[in-house]
Amino acid sequence: MIPEHHVIGLSAILFAIGVLGVLVRRNFIGLVLSIALTFNASNLAFVGFNRFWPGDEAKLHWDGQVFVAVVIAVAAAQVVMGLSVLFSMFRNRNGVDIDEAGA
Amino acid sequence: MDVTAIVFYTMGALIVIAGLGVSFASRDSLVTCLNFLVVMLSTGVIFLLLDAPMIAVLQILVWSGVTGLAMVFAVMLVGRDNRTFRPAGIRLTKIAGGLLVVIVLAEWLRFTADTRSSLPPVPPGYGDSGGLGVALYTDYLLVVELVSLLLLATLVSALVLVDRKAGR
């Protein structure tokens, strides 16, 4: 069987990779995908904790999975906004370099 | 070591390798997108192992289906050059981000020290999509409605941002 702390550890490592990617990336697409990695890490932790405390037959717990459904919807909205910002950036500046966009 | 564990560790290794590819592979934006698709599909398999089939379907539909393909489309629009990284100077954001990583990993070590047990047996009814649906539309109805409002606002504002005439 899978130990619980391995699930949470995988989630923590994925979160660390995502945050470091946000710090390192300068290209817009890499940045948005790195943020999506951190969302995915939190989803993994939510599902893992929900599986760890599933409740009993009388009262099952669904809180973690409900959280994940909401997070997926919010992250989809974030990606859509990122895409439209990417389009306007590309049209007005002819490039998607983040550091130049701030200057 | 049973089949579940073998699949879990294989998918975990795939997630870490492809995640490193998303964050640090520098050559090509398209490679970044394909690595991202691998991460999302492997996470879907792990959700199936953790008895969350509905979440696995949502994951694969929304993340790989919508987000991954939208990103491939964006790569087609803006070009595949992805070689630029940020300069190596130390800034406040980097310090804060590094601190965040250290905190998360320390939390994991503390959790590992406290809890070293396998997953409990599945109670009957857990993993049915019906139970999740009932929870979504009774206890969490307000949250679902708020999320639908958010998606509507996102749709409208994305259209306004992209439309050339309506914008500035």
Task: Give the domains, in start order, of chain A with CATH numbers.
Answer: 4-102 (1.10.287.3510)
Q: Write out B63-80 in H/E/C secondary structure.
A: HHHHHHHHHHHHHHHHCC
The fold adopted by the segment(s) B3-137 is Four Helix Bundle (Hemerythrin (Met), subunit A) (1.20.120)
ipTM above 0.90, yes or no: no
Residues in chain A: 103
pLDDT in tens, B90-133: 678 888 888 888 998 888 888 887 777 777 888 887 878 888 88
The domain spans of chain B are 3-137, 138-168
pLDDT at B71 over 60: yes
Q: Is B148 exposed, middle or buried (0-12, 13-18, 19+ CB in 10 A)?
A: exposed
Residue A81: which H helix or E strand, with range?
helix A63-93
**Listed residue (B19, B162, B62) closest to A77, CA to CA:** B62
Partners of residue A68 in chain B, C-beta under 8 Å = 52, 55, 58
Q: B125 vs chain A: nearest CA distance in angstroms?
A: 7
pLDDT in tens, B154-167: 999 988 888 766 54
Partners of residue B67 in chain A, C-beta under 8 Å = 36, 75-76, 79
Cβ separation A1–B29 shorter than 8 A: no
Smallest Cβ distance to B161: which of A65, A76, A85? A85
Cβ separation B70–A25 shorter than 8 A: no
Say which DSSP state B86 is in: -
- In angstroms, the CA B111 to CA B152 distance is 39
pLDDT in tens, B22-35: 888 767 888 889 99
